[in-house]
Protein backbone atom coordinates (compact mmCIF):
# COMPACT_ATOMS: atom_id res chain seq x y z
CA UNK A 1 0.00 0.00 0.00
CA UNK A 2 1.35 3.44 -0.97
CA UNK A 3 1.84 6.25 1.51
CA UNK A 4 -0.08 9.48 0.95
CA UNK A 5 2.69 11.14 -1.10
CA UNK A 6 3.04 8.27 -3.55
CA UNK A 7 -0.73 7.76 -3.62
CA UNK A 8 -1.14 11.43 -4.56
CA UNK A 9 1.43 11.10 -7.33
CA UNK A 10 -0.38 8.04 -8.71
CA UNK A 11 -3.76 9.80 -8.62
CA UNK A 12 -2.34 12.83 -10.45
CA UNK A 13 -0.87 10.52 -13.10
CA UNK A 14 -4.36 9.06 -13.45
CA UNK A 15 -5.82 12.52 -14.11
CA UNK A 16 -7.19 13.45 -10.68
CA UNK A 17 -6.56 16.91 -9.23
CA UNK A 18 -5.50 16.31 -5.63
CA UNK A 19 -2.89 17.57 -3.20
CA UNK A 20 -1.07 15.77 -0.44
CA UNK A 21 -3.23 17.17 2.35
CA UNK A 22 -6.43 15.92 0.74
CA UNK A 23 -5.00 12.48 -0.01
CA UNK A 24 -3.77 12.12 3.57
CA UNK A 25 -7.21 13.10 4.93
CA UNK A 26 -9.06 10.70 2.64
CA UNK A 27 -6.70 7.82 3.43
CA UNK A 28 -7.18 8.46 7.15
CA UNK A 29 -10.97 8.52 6.78
CA UNK A 30 -10.90 5.28 4.77
CA UNK A 31 -8.55 3.54 7.22
CA UNK A 32 -5.81 3.17 4.61
CA UNK A 33 -2.13 3.34 5.49
CA UNK A 34 1.19 2.38 3.98
CA UNK A 35 2.51 -1.09 4.76
CA UNK A 36 6.00 -0.85 6.23
CA UNK A 37 8.02 -2.35 9.08
CA UNK A 38 7.88 -0.56 12.39
CA UNK A 39 11.04 1.24 13.46
CA UNK A 40 11.49 -0.96 16.49
CA UNK A 41 10.71 -4.64 16.12
CA UNK A 42 11.34 -5.45 19.77
CA UNK A 43 9.35 -3.06 21.94
CA UNK A 44 10.01 -3.16 25.65
CA UNK A 45 7.44 -3.74 28.39
CA UNK A 46 8.11 -1.62 31.47
CA UNK A 47 6.37 -4.13 33.71
CA UNK A 48 8.86 -6.88 32.96
CA UNK A 49 12.22 -7.54 34.60
CA UNK A 50 15.23 -6.21 32.68
CA UNK A 51 18.64 -7.76 33.13
CA UNK A 52 22.01 -5.94 33.12
CA UNK A 53 24.42 -6.05 30.21
CA UNK A 54 27.13 -8.54 31.18
CA UNK A 55 29.53 -8.29 28.25
CA UNK A 56 31.30 -4.95 28.64
CA UNK A 57 35.03 -5.59 28.26
CA UNK A 58 34.54 -9.36 28.00
CA UNK A 59 36.78 -11.17 25.50
CA UNK A 60 34.77 -13.75 23.57
CA UNK A 61 37.26 -16.61 23.50
CA UNK A 62 35.39 -19.91 23.02
CA UNK A 63 32.22 -21.48 21.63
CA UNK A 64 29.19 -21.51 23.93
CA UNK A 65 30.57 -18.66 25.99
CA UNK A 66 27.95 -16.25 24.61
CA UNK A 67 24.86 -16.82 22.51
CA UNK A 68 22.68 -13.97 21.30
CA UNK A 69 19.43 -13.43 19.46
CA UNK A 70 17.61 -10.64 17.65
CA UNK A 71 14.76 -10.02 15.19
CA UNK A 72 14.78 -8.50 11.72
CA UNK A 73 12.15 -8.12 9.02
CA UNK A 74 11.93 -9.35 5.43
CA UNK A 75 9.75 -7.74 2.80
CA UNK A 76 7.14 -9.96 1.13
CA UNK A 77 4.50 -9.09 -1.47
CA UNK A 78 1.84 -7.17 0.43
CA UNK A 79 3.67 -7.07 3.75
CA UNK A 80 6.52 -8.47 5.82
CA UNK A 81 7.66 -11.50 7.75
CA UNK A 82 9.98 -11.55 10.73
CA UNK A 83 13.18 -13.52 11.21
CA UNK A 84 14.92 -14.43 14.45
CA UNK A 85 18.15 -16.35 14.92
CA UNK A 86 20.26 -17.66 17.78
CA UNK A 87 23.98 -17.14 17.15
CA UNK A 88 27.13 -18.29 18.92
CA UNK A 89 29.21 -15.13 19.17
CA UNK A 90 32.66 -16.73 19.07
CA UNK A 91 32.14 -18.86 15.97
CA UNK A 92 29.33 -16.74 14.43
CA UNK A 93 27.47 -19.99 13.84
CA UNK A 94 23.69 -19.68 13.47
CA UNK A 95 22.52 -22.32 15.92
CA UNK A 96 18.85 -21.99 15.04
CA UNK A 97 16.42 -19.63 13.35
CA UNK A 98 12.70 -19.18 12.73
CA UNK A 99 10.51 -16.98 10.53
CA UNK A 100 7.02 -15.81 11.38
CA UNK A 101 4.21 -13.67 10.01
CA UNK A 102 3.78 -12.00 13.41
CA UNK A 103 5.96 -10.53 16.14
CA UNK A 104 4.75 -12.73 18.97
CA UNK A 105 7.03 -14.45 21.47
CA UNK A 106 6.30 -17.96 20.21
CA UNK A 107 8.61 -17.97 17.19
CA UNK A 108 11.48 -16.68 19.33
CA UNK A 109 10.87 -19.50 21.80
CA UNK A 110 10.87 -22.02 18.96
CA UNK A 111 14.32 -20.82 17.89
CA UNK A 112 15.59 -20.93 21.47
CA UNK A 113 14.31 -24.48 22.02
CA UNK A 114 15.94 -25.66 18.79
CA UNK A 115 19.28 -24.23 19.86
CA UNK A 116 19.10 -25.83 23.31
CA UNK A 117 17.95 -29.16 21.81
CA UNK A 118 21.54 -29.72 20.66
CA UNK A 119 22.43 -30.49 24.27
CA UNK A 120 24.73 -27.47 24.46
CA UNK A 121 24.01 -24.21 26.25
CA UNK A 122 25.84 -20.89 26.62
CA UNK A 123 27.27 -19.39 29.76
CA UNK A 124 25.62 -16.07 28.85
CA UNK A 125 22.67 -15.35 26.57
CA UNK A 126 22.37 -11.78 25.25
CA UNK A 127 19.22 -10.11 23.91
CA UNK A 128 17.72 -6.66 23.59
CA UNK A 129 14.98 -5.45 25.94
CA UNK A 130 12.11 -6.30 23.60
CA UNK A 131 8.94 -7.82 24.98
CA UNK A 132 9.65 -11.15 23.24
CA UNK A 133 12.90 -11.57 25.17
CA UNK A 134 11.83 -10.10 28.53
CA UNK A 135 8.77 -12.38 28.66
CA UNK A 136 8.71 -14.85 31.53
CA UNK A 137 8.44 -17.75 29.08
CA UNK A 138 11.70 -16.74 27.39
CA UNK A 139 13.75 -15.70 30.43
CA UNK A 140 12.35 -18.60 32.47
CA UNK A 141 13.58 -21.08 29.85
CA UNK A 142 17.06 -19.60 30.03
CA UNK A 143 17.10 -19.68 33.83
CA UNK A 144 15.95 -23.30 33.78
CA UNK A 145 18.93 -24.11 31.57
CA UNK A 146 21.29 -22.43 34.05
CA UNK A 147 22.15 -19.60 31.65
CA UNK A 148 23.09 -16.07 32.77
CA UNK A 149 20.89 -13.47 31.03
CA UNK A 150 22.38 -10.30 29.55
CA UNK A 151 20.40 -7.50 27.91
CA UNK A 152 21.52 -4.60 25.76
CA UNK A 153 21.28 -1.12 27.20
CA UNK A 154 18.27 0.83 25.91
CA UNK A 155 19.06 2.39 22.54
CA UNK A 156 22.45 0.67 22.31
CA UNK A 157 22.28 -1.47 19.20
CA UNK A 158 26.06 -1.97 19.21
CA UNK A 159 25.76 -4.11 22.36
CA UNK A 160 24.56 -6.84 19.99
CA UNK A 161 26.84 -5.91 17.10
CA UNK A 162 27.64 -9.47 15.96
CA UNK A 163 23.96 -10.24 15.38
CA UNK A 164 23.52 -6.91 13.59
CA UNK A 165 26.37 -7.94 11.28
CA UNK A 166 24.60 -11.25 10.66
CA UNK A 167 21.48 -9.41 9.52
CA UNK A 168 23.55 -7.32 7.14
CA UNK A 169 25.01 -10.49 5.64
CA UNK A 170 21.59 -12.15 5.35
CA UNK A 171 20.09 -9.08 3.67
CA UNK A 172 22.90 -8.35 1.21
CA UNK A 173 23.91 -11.91 0.32
CA UNK A 174 20.44 -13.50 0.27
CA UNK A 175 17.28 -11.46 0.80
CA UNK A 176 18.03 -8.45 -1.44
CA UNK A 177 19.02 -10.77 -4.30
CA UNK A 178 15.64 -12.51 -4.36
CA UNK A 179 11.93 -11.80 -4.17
CA UNK A 180 10.24 -14.36 -1.95
CA UNK A 181 6.68 -15.03 -3.04
CA UNK A 182 5.47 -15.89 0.46
CA UNK A 183 6.54 -17.01 3.92
CA UNK A 184 6.91 -20.64 2.83
CA UNK A 185 9.37 -19.70 0.10
CA UNK A 186 11.25 -17.41 2.48
CA UNK A 187 11.70 -20.30 4.89
CA UNK A 188 12.96 -22.65 2.18
CA UNK A 189 15.46 -20.15 0.80
CA UNK A 190 16.66 -19.03 4.21
CA UNK A 191 17.20 -22.65 5.22
CA UNK A 192 19.46 -23.14 2.22
CA UNK A 193 21.28 -19.89 2.95
CA UNK A 194 21.95 -20.62 6.62
CA UNK A 195 23.27 -24.11 5.77
CA UNK A 196 25.70 -22.45 3.34
CA UNK A 197 26.54 -19.66 5.79
CA UNK A 198 27.42 -22.12 8.56
CA UNK A 199 29.18 -24.77 6.53
CA UNK A 200 30.77 -23.05 3.53
CA UNK A 201 30.99 -19.28 3.87
CA UNK A 202 34.52 -18.23 4.91
CA UNK A 203 34.86 -15.49 7.53
CA UNK A 204 37.89 -13.23 7.62
CA UNK A 205 37.75 -12.78 11.40
CA UNK A 206 37.75 -16.60 11.75
CA UNK A 207 40.98 -16.91 9.79
CA UNK A 208 39.01 -17.76 6.63
CA UNK A 209 37.37 -20.76 8.25
CA UNK A 210 33.66 -21.50 8.48
CA UNK A 211 31.46 -20.99 11.57
CA UNK A 212 30.81 -24.74 11.85
CA UNK A 213 34.52 -25.56 11.79
CA UNK A 214 35.16 -23.13 14.64
CA UNK A 215 32.07 -24.08 16.65
CA UNK A 216 32.88 -27.79 16.47
CA UNK A 217 36.50 -27.16 17.47
CA UNK A 218 38.04 -28.35 14.21
CA UNK A 219 40.02 -25.10 14.01
CA UNK A 220 40.90 -22.31 16.39
CA UNK A 221 39.81 -18.71 15.89
CA UNK A 222 41.10 -15.50 17.45
CA UNK A 223 39.34 -14.28 20.58
CA UNK A 224 36.59 -11.77 19.83
Give tens-digit pLDDT for 189-220: 999 999 999 999 998 889 889 999 999 988 77
Q: Do 175 and 73 fall within a single domain?
A: yes
Q: Does the residue 192 lie in any domain?
A: yes
Burial 31-44 (b: 16+ CB within 10 A, else e): eeeeeeeeeebbeb
Say if residue 58's pLDDT is above 60. Answer: yes
Contacts of 197 by beta carbon, 8 Å cutoff, 6+ apart: 94, 169, 170, 211
Q: Do 25 and 117 fall within a single domain?
A: no
Q: Does the residue 86 lie in any domain?
A: yes
Q: Does the residue 20 lie in any domain?
A: yes
Query: Which of left, alpha, beta for 78 (phi over 0: left; psi -120 to 50: alpha)?
Result: left
Q: Do 3 and 107 fall within a single domain?
A: no
Q: Predicted confidence band at 8 (pLDDT cuts at 50, 70, 90)?
A: low
Q: Between residues 44 and 182, which one has the greater pLDDT?
A: 182
Q: Do 30 and 80 fall within a single domain?
A: no
Q: Do 10 and 73 fall within a single domain?
A: no
Range of the domain at 5: 1-34
pLDDT at residue 16 in the model: 77
Which range is least confidently modeled, 44-48, 65-69, 146-150, 197-201? 44-48
Residues listed for the chain: 224
Q: Predicted confidence band at 36 (pLDDT cuts at 50, 70, 90)?
A: very low
**Upper half-sphere CA count for residue 70 (Cβ side, 13 Å):** 23
Say if residue 20's pLDDT is above 90. Answer: no
pLDDT at residue 29 in the model: 60
pTM to 2 decimal places: 0.77
Q: Does the residue 203 lie in any domain?
A: yes
Domain count, the chain: 2
Q: Do 11 and 117 fall within a single domain?
A: no
Amino acid sequence: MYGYRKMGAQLRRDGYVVNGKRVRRLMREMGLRAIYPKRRLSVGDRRRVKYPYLLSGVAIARPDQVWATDITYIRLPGGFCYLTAVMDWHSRRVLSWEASASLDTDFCLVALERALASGRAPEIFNTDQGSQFTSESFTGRLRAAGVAISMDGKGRCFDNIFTERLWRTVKYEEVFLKEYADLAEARRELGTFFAWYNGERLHQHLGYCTPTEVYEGRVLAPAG
